[in-house]
Structure 1
């Protein structure tokens, strides 16, 4: 608790008070000492931030619970985002095929002009895809 208090620049008494209110979560060791995981420091920073905004302790508790749920749900959000990106890629693939068909109807000079507009974006997209695919 002392280490956490020092890092967060609050008193041990403050940490004890927040723990009793349920704002902070503590684990107990076999010798009944309280210890806090790495998220406790982030929680303390959020508590102090909300206090500066004059939030009540009840409001702060609600915000912390929302933040914890949000953190736990990040993996689900990332999976949903990955699915959305995959769907967009499929749609883009169809659009590119349609675009290629249209380009086939143009003369070489016109094709070159249009394709030059895509050069930098294409390189950036390919680099992003290569990073994504590892």
Structure 2
């Protein structure tokens, strides 16, 4: 379990941002007897997911809906699930178009530059795979 300052430092975000996410209901810390908020591993996963969605330029309200859908313990609302997957499909289509646009540029890069980009994309690919695993749990 992490106090707000610890999780902020660990995730490289401000305490104020964590406060805001908590206020929005995205994070659900437990309170100690001394009224400290403690955040667990689920909070770390949610913060990573939020950052991932923000990098995809998804609005915070849509991020909240997606996370609520993932965290839902009740039956999943079919319309919400369909909307979420439509959003993912739209993002994937956009990425495919972006790849087509940058392909000629990539062909002009040196092998060292290409390797650097592959390494960078590999870490992001792992993040995407983790997100998809969260979605299909």
Structure with a larger share of its residues in helix? 1
Structure number, greater radius of gyration: 1
- With CA pairs under 8 Å and 6+ residues apart, which has the higher RCO, 1 or 2? 2
* TM-score normalized with structure 2 length: 0.48
